[in-house]
């Protein structure tokens, strides 16, 4: 085995012993201090949201008031990750990181909601106690993915006071956040893994990093449910008064 000869720190002609703790001998301590490396990884995220919301009753109908809600929103999403040069170039294996990363995205949004009571209050009939429709729309404009408009339609129906049916259909749009798009490289090492191709067992590395080619996700949701609260409308005179306080639902 070849040993390292120290030729600085007033220790010329002496040798570094790798089998003892660095604090045991003066040579080891000085050499370890001289070879020490200071590194850093400075990461930060920034989120700015500005929103304006408003709404209220528009007009009274026999079945109840028509209400409307409106909103405007601006959102800025920023991600920055700066590493020391040795870590940035992948020279420090134990830290498992490489490369700087940064990204920025902003979204302009507008949304609205309209509630229309078709039956209810003074305008109700047997098996048509309440019927209410809610129409909503959301529009988003992304600096990185273009624009998307997604609707939501909800329906509430009560044949009588103690039984409620609810159903809705909605669409959603999710753009990848900046950390998923621009995240820096993270390298992890795992031992005891077996390569399925070669059959060899050893230490292997896995890499996790952002992917600027990620595409947005679109969702379509359907919901239906009912709620039954027997005797809640008139617990003193209802045949179901013995079950007052009981409620069950199915979604």
The verdict on residue 250 lying in a domain is no
56 and 27, same domain (yes or no): no
Instruction: List, for residues 116-149, the tens digit of each pLDDT value.
Output: 999 988 888 888 999 999 999 999 999 888 899 9
- pLDDT, mean over the chain: 81
CA distance 119 to 179: 48
> What was the pLDDT predicted at 93?
60
CA distance 122 to 113: 24
- Lowest mean pLDDT across 90-99, 130-139, 207-216: 90-99
Q: How confident is the model at residue 94 (pLDDT cuts 50, 70, 90)?
A: low
Nearest CA-CA partner of 131 in 115, 112, 151, 107: 115
Q: 1 pLDDT exceeds 50?
A: no
Could you tell me if 83 and 96 are in contact, meaning their C-beta atoms sit under 8 angstroms apart?
Answer: no
Altogether, the residues listed in the chain come to a count of 251
The verdict on residue 227 lying in a domain is no
Joined together, the tokens standing for residue 191 give 């031992």
30 and 46, same domain (yes or no): no
* Mean pLDDT value across residues 8-17: 54
> What was the pLDDT predicted at 145?
86
The verdict on residue 241 lying in a domain is no
46 and 128, same domain (yes or no): yes
Joined together, the tokens standing for residue 175 give 């753009």
| Rg of the chain in Å (alpha carbons) | 33
Q: Which domain holds residue 10?
A: 1-36
Helix (H) or strand (E) holding 151: strand 146-160
18 and 135, same domain (yes or no): no
Q: 54 pLDDT exceeds 90?
A: yes
């Amino acid at each position: 085995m070849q040993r390292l000869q120290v030729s600085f720190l007033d220790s010329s002609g002496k040798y570094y012993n790798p089998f003892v703790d660095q604090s045991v001998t003066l040579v080891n301590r000085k050499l370890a201090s001289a070879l020490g490396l200071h590194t850093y990884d400075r990461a930060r995220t920034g989120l700015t949201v500005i929103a304006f919301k408003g709404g209220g009753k528009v007009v009274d109908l026999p079945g109840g008031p028509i209400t409307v809600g409106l909103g405007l929103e601006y959102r800025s999403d920023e991600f920055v990750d700066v590493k020391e040069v040795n870590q940035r170039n992948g020279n420090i294996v134990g830290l498992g990181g490489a490369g700087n990363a940064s990204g920025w995205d902003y979204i302009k949004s507008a949304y609205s909601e309209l509630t229309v009571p078709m039956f209810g209050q003074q305008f109700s009939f047997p098996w048509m106690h309440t019927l209410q429709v809610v129409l909503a729309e959301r529009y988003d404009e992304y600096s990185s993915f273009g624009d998307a408009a997604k609707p939501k339609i909800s329906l509430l129906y009560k044949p009588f006071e103690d039984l409620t049916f609810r159903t809705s259909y909605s669409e959603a749009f999710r753009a990848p956040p900046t950390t998923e798009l621009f995240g820096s490289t993270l390298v992890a090492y795992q031992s005891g893994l077996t390569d399925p191709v070669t059959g060899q067992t050893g230490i292997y590395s896995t890499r996790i990093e952002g992917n600027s080619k990620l595409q947005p996700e679109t969702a379509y949701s359907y919901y239906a449910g009912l709620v039954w609260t027997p005797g809640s409308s008139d617990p003193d005179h209802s045949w179901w008064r013995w079950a007052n306080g009981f409620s069950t639902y199915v979604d």
